[in-house]
Chain A
Amino acid sequence: MSFLAKYIGQKVRRTEDPRLIQGIGHYVDDIKLADTLHVVILRSTHAHAKINSIDLEAAKSSPGVVAVYTGKDVEGRVGFVPCAAALPDLKVPKYPVLAQGKVIFVGQPVAAIVATDKYKARDAADLIDIDYDPLDVVTDPEAAVQADSSVIHEEFGTNIAFHHSAGTGDIEAAFKQADRIVSEKLYHQRLAPVALEPRGVLAHYLPGEQQMTLWSSTQIPHLMRTQVALMLGINENRLRVIAPEVGGGFGSKLNVYAEEALLGWISMQLKKPVKWIESRRENMTSTIHGRSQSGTVEMAVKNDGTLLGLKYQVIADMGAYLQLLTPAIPTLTGLMLSGCYKIPAISMQCTGVFTNRMSTDAYRGAGRPEATYLVERIMDCVALELKMDPVELRRKNFPKPEEFPFATATGLFYDSGDYEKSLARALEMSDYQKLRAEQSEARKQGRYLGIGVSTYVEICAMGPSIALPAGGWESATVRVEPTGKVTVMTGISPHGQGEETSFAQIVGDMLGVDMDDVLVIHGDTSIVQYGIGTFGSRGLAVGGAALACALDKVVAKARKLAAHILQTDESSLTFENGRFVGAPNDSSITIQEIAQAAHTAHNIPPDFEPGLVATHFFEPKNFTFPFGSHLRGRGRQGDRRGQGASIYRR
């Protein structure tokens, strides 16, 4: 197929924006159904405590209150919050949607109050009296593994959730051969993802149809459908999950949360729509956190700067329970421990531990920025130790462009790269030699000028199915309607990434249609075929590839019909700018005309299936490995504007 890039690579205004800049899009809380009841969740104020009793009397008789539920009500009725990550010998605690007998983190849901409005629900929550017996709290992951630590999940007898080793190569030999071993203790602090729109759920169960619709601010509507259906014991095809406009995710909405199943269950009990909108305080305590690793990194090097081996011994903080991918996050750190460098032997020893804090999980990069930080930090430490220019040390250990695909000791194949080129560009843009000269001049005058340099590679386009618990493919359906308008249904679930636009650009160019004739539908499990969702830099790389493959199928089918109508061979036809040309008699036909003919089906070949629609499930063969360099000088007076450079290649 050939096409002119009228849209791809061109500056176009986003299709999503008119509704967003006028405030007329619909996020979960903007969807109003008649008779909706409002849910407020009362959460634990203790990090670790036994619940002696819960007094609900006053709350139940508070004005406007319809129902109040606690752990007893959901026990055996709503399944546990799922963890999909599989690691050998992983200990998975049972994670109830409402606490049962004890709480193990601040913010854990204890009771759900349902009322006719949110103010009344909040009032009633204040009337609930919970008698807690505080227990010893473990918040420091390093303390959690000590013998004298209190144990959070008694059934395991330990706070250790798993041990995980990764890496290949003869690490002991590497460390024996080393001229020097440089080591550093590093902390990756815990953080809260804080999407600007907090989470929110609206559930509406129709008892007659036995169907439920669940609107949730999520990145993964299909995966959620499967999991919530299992938790509620209903058939997956009777649950419709809709991710409406979603106000940012950053990994924090790549999850299945207690509230999603709980709201569904409450709607089934009360047979009314029920809504819960997370407050910012709840978002801080009860939406997943990121990072929280503490570890020691050691690099074995020769005096000339050649890297021989890297060890990373790390304690990864899981938090109190395991959310969807909690234990998988540090394994991604393990995969990326080679950074941009040739390191023949790598070994990671990771211990995942429970603490009395909210679960960690995927946040912006999810384990990968941790790897970049620790590799780049140890490179700087090595440079300091060897008194080498940190730029030279990096250069010395880059794989050369001709060494790609490059196999790392962590088991990956970097598809392509030219790290030297990106670094060279950053050096040139920031005038590195001059910066260094200024730095030594400044030192002489007793002033400090810092120069930071970092090169990195990331693992993106998640990913081959083998790498992800629910599969890593993505799906797309292209339907050319009788009038020639094109409807795309994609399994990704964008929440700011802009694929309504970029996918329309792809369709516009590949089908030769006007971008405005394309509608991209996502985030509705009743309309869109099963998909995986948006996370791990996969939307365009995997979802876009699925779309391109589906478009190829549409064009192939259209070509058949075009040849039939133009009375020529398929092979004589060229598809250009939305038109099949090249028939011997110089006649041609547009994709719109083909679409109409495919639907009326009055003049089709005998073996031709009417309609013009194709679906493709795309399985990527590998990840992608974008890379880049950063360089910046900074003095006491502030940023040296114009002296910094960031180079990326995606």
Chain B
Amino acid sequence: MRISISINGVKHDADVEPRLLLVHFIRDLAGLTGTHIGCETSICGACTVLMDGKPVKCCAILAVQADGSEITTIEGLADEGRLHPIQEGFWECHGLQCGYCTPGMIMSAYGLLQENPDPTEDEIRHGLEGNLCRCTGYQHIVDAVRHASRQMAAKAVKAG
């Protein structure tokens, strides 16, 4: 099947088998390997990307289902080399160790902060429960998202 998917603003046209997973389209055809695979069964969240602005686990979506959609991956988050506040938050608050869960965590946090710009600790934990991390014990991830939410609020005030 011929499909066309826009990833981080770049259009990718390809003839794919209907069974091709979106995560493989992103990693193998578009060559964007920041989206990781930790389970291929929609459990770990390592493969989380934004599909038309909403976080999805792209190991559980077929590429053909994403035909015509806009995908944002971790590589597309920084703005002209300037880190996104969520990326800054993870860096500043030691929100990662091995970094394997990190792209998915950041994309899920992005979705969470869009819906709830000022989440409490409990809301962050609940909002990220679809993402597993084996290294950090989560506390610093929560701190990172809190940090990001404050930075984003400060920015919004400035911009407003």
B101 interfacial contact with A, CB 8 Å: yes
A277 to B23, CA, bound (A): 15
Contact A198:B38 (CB < 8 A) given known A22-B78, A22-B87, A23-B33: yes
On whether the beta carbons of A20 and B33 are closer than 8 Å, the reply is: no
Closest B residue by C-beta to A118: B24
Contact of A246 among B40, B74, B92, B98 (CB under 8 A): B98
Give the distance to chain B from A247, nearest Cβ to Cβ, in Å: 3
Give the distance to chain A from B158, nearest Cβ to Cβ, in Å: 23
Chain A residues near B74: list those with CB within 8 A: 21-23
A280 interfacial contact with B, CB 8 Å: yes
Contact of A247 among B27, B33, B43, B100 (CB under 8 A): B100
A495 interfacial contact with B, CB 8 Å: yes
Contact A20:B17 (CB < 8 A) given known A196-B44, A247-B36: no
A24 to B106, CA, bound (A): 14
Overall SS of chain B's interface: loop
Count how many pairs of residues, one from A and one from B, have CB atoms less than 8 Å apart in the complex: 107
Chain A residues near B94: list those with CB within 8 A: 14
On whether the beta carbons of B98 and A496 are closer than 8 Å, the reply is: yes
On whether the beta carbons of A27 and B36 are closer than 8 Å, the reply is: yes
Give the distance to chain B from A110, nearest Cβ to Cβ, in Å: 21
A177 to B27, CA, bound (A): 68
B149 interfacial contact with A, CB 8 Å: no
Contact A196:B87 (CB < 8 A) given known A16-B99, A497-B97, A498-B97: no
On whether the beta carbons of A248 and B100 are closer than 8 Å, the reply is: yes
Chain B residues near A259: list those with CB within 8 A: none
Give the distance to chain A from B45, nearest Cβ to Cβ, in Å: 10
B102 interfacial contact with A, CB 8 Å: yes
A194 interfacial contact with B, CB 8 Å: yes
Would you list which residues of chain A between 1 and 16 have a CB under 8 Å from chain B? 13-14, 16
Give the distance to chain A from B17, nearest Cβ to Cβ, in Å: 7
A18 interfacial contact with B, CB 8 Å: yes
A27 to B101, CA, bound (A): 12
Contact of A23 among B41, B73, B92 (CB under 8 A): B73
| Segment of B50-58, B61-69, B112-120, B129-137 in the binding face | B129-137
On whether the beta carbons of B134 and A248 are closer than 8 Å, the reply is: yes
Would you list which residues of chain A between 215 and 252 have a CB under 8 Å from chain B? 245-248, 250
On whether the beta carbons of B78 and A280 are closer than 8 Å, the reply is: no
On whether the beta carbons of A496 and B91 are closer than 8 Å, the reply is: no
A495 to B33, CA, bound (A): 18
A605 to B46, CA, bound (A): 57
Chain B residues near A156: list those with CB within 8 A: none
On whether the beta carbons of B91 and A17 are closer than 8 Å, the reply is: yes
A526 interfacial contact with B, CB 8 Å: no
On whether the beta carbons of B100 and A27 are closer than 8 Å, the reply is: yes
On whether the beta carbons of B96 and A196 are closer than 8 Å, the reply is: no
Contact A280:B39 (CB < 8 A) given known A23-B32, A196-B44, A197-B100: yes
Would you list which residues of chain B between 6 and 45 have a CB under 8 Å from chain A? 17, 19-20, 27, 31-41, 43-44
Task: Identify which of A32, A119, A496 gathers the most chain B CB atoms within 10 Å of its CB.
Answer: A496
A89 to B38, CA, bound (A): 40
A263 to B96, CA, bound (A): 31
Contact A496:B31 (CB < 8 A) given known A29-B37, A196-B132, A280-B38: no
Contact A20:B99 (CB < 8 A) given known A27-B36, A119-B17, A197-B38: yes
Would you list which residues of chain A between 23 and 66 have a CB under 8 Å from chain B? 23-27, 29-30, 32
On whether the beta carbons of B40 and A247 are closer than 8 Å, the reply is: no
On whether the beta carbons of A279 and B40 are closer than 8 Å, the reply is: yes
On whether the beta carbons of B33 and A29 are closer than 8 Å, the reply is: yes
On whether the beta carbons of B40 and A22 are closer than 8 Å, the reply is: no
On whether the beta carbons of A21 and B75 are closer than 8 Å, the reply is: no
B111 interfacial contact with A, CB 8 Å: no
Contact of A496 among B27, B32, B99 (CB under 8 A): B99
Give the distance to chain B from A133, nearest Cβ to Cβ, in Å: 32
B110 interfacial contact with A, CB 8 Å: no
Chain B residues near A198: list those with CB within 8 A: 38
Give the distance to chain A from B113, nearest Cβ to Cβ, in Å: 16
On whether the beta carbons of A196 and B34 are closer than 8 Å, the reply is: no
A279 to B59, CA, bound (A): 12
B154 interfacial contact with A, CB 8 Å: no
Contact A280:B103 (CB < 8 A) given known A26-B33, A250-B134: no
Give the distance to chain A from B136, nearest Cβ to Cβ, in Å: 9
Would you list which residues of chain A between 255 and 294 have a CB under 8 Å from chain B? 277, 279-280
Chain B residues near A30: list those with CB within 8 A: 27, 33
- B71-107 vs A, CB cutoff 8 Å, 1 = contact: the mask equals 0011101100001000100111010111111110010
Contact A247:B37 (CB < 8 A) given known A13-B91, A17-B90, A17-B91: no
A195 interfacial contact with B, CB 8 Å: yes
Would you list which residues of chain A between 470 and 486 have a CB under 8 Å from chain B? none
- A residues touching B (Cβ–Cβ < 8 Å)? 13-14, 16-18, 20-27, 29-30, 32, 119, 194-198, 245-248, 250, 277, 279-280, 495-498
Q: A22-B34, A248-B98, A248-B135 are in contact. List 17 more A-B contacts (CB 8 A).
A: A13-B92, A17-B90, A20-B102, A21-B90, A21-B102, A22-B83, A27-B36, A29-B27, A30-B27, A32-B31, A32-B33, A119-B17, A195-B100, A196-B36, A196-B44, A246-B98, A496-B97
- B residues touching A (Cβ–Cβ < 8 Å)? 17, 19-20, 27, 31-41, 43-44, 46, 73-75, 77-78, 83, 87, 90-92, 94, 96-103, 106, 132-135
22 residue pairs bridging A and B, Cβ less than 8 Å apart: A14-B94, A21-B83, A22-B77, A22-B83, A23-B32, A23-B35, A25-B99, A27-B33, A29-B27, A32-B31, A32-B33, A119-B17, A195-B100, A196-B133, A197-B38, A245-B98, A248-B100, A496-B96, A496-B97, A496-B98, A496-B135, A498-B97
Name the 3 nearest CB pairs between A and B, nearest first. A23-B34, A247-B100, A20-B99
